[in-house]
Amino acid sequence: MIHRERMTARMEGDFAVFLIGMRINQPWKVHKWLPVATAMPRMLKELYAKSELGLLSHEMWFSRTIILVQYWRSMDALLAYAKARESHHLPAWQAFNQAIGTSGTVGIWHETYLAKAGTYENVYANMPAFGLGKAGTLVPAKSGLQSAAARLRSEH
């Protein structure tokens, strides 16, 4: 559903934003990058099946560089998933290090941010629920939420 009015996303408490991706440096080596590319969908399936793990939502873009933006309930939840021996993450990370390591065929990266009330803002116009708007609660960007500065000052 497209929201035709200006909307903003509200979140309860702190949350984590996790950017993760891979870059295919040698496209002809499909046997190297395909296992890396297929690991993330398995992790996402696991995370959505077990909401208690803390993933709220994600967005994904595909090109030579694949980028995922993930929204997590907390930094603790994200870090716990990364270290959990029973999750899909550790075996995928071990397989990457064994098959790719520092060979240069496939690049991977991530960035992690802790967002606290008053340190983020957002606006969506003529958009379906997207990004933080999918992870949180969308509300009309009016009544003191019209500008970026006002949204930053408001209580989240």
How does pLDDT run across 55-76, given as a tens digit for each residue?
A: 999 999 999 899 999 999 999 9
Backbone angles phi, psi at 104, to 5 degrees: 90, -5
Q: Give me the residue label for tokens 């046997």.
A: 31
Domains of the chain: 15-115 (3.30.70.100)
What's the whole-number mean pLDDT along residues 14-29? 96
Q: What is the pLDDT of residue 117?
A: 84
Cα–Cα distances in angstroms (integers) from residue 59 to residues 22, 53, 97, 133, in the given order: 14, 18, 25, 11
Whether the CB-CB separation of 68 and 83 falls below 8 Å is answered with no
In angstroms, the CA 120 to CA 108 distance is 26
pLDDT in tens, 78-107: 999 999 999 999 999 999 999 999 999 999
Q: Which of 76, 68, 77 shows the shortest CA–CA distance to 50?
A: 77
pLDDT over 60 (residue 29): yes
Q: How far apart are CA 155 and CA 10, in angstroms?
A: 9
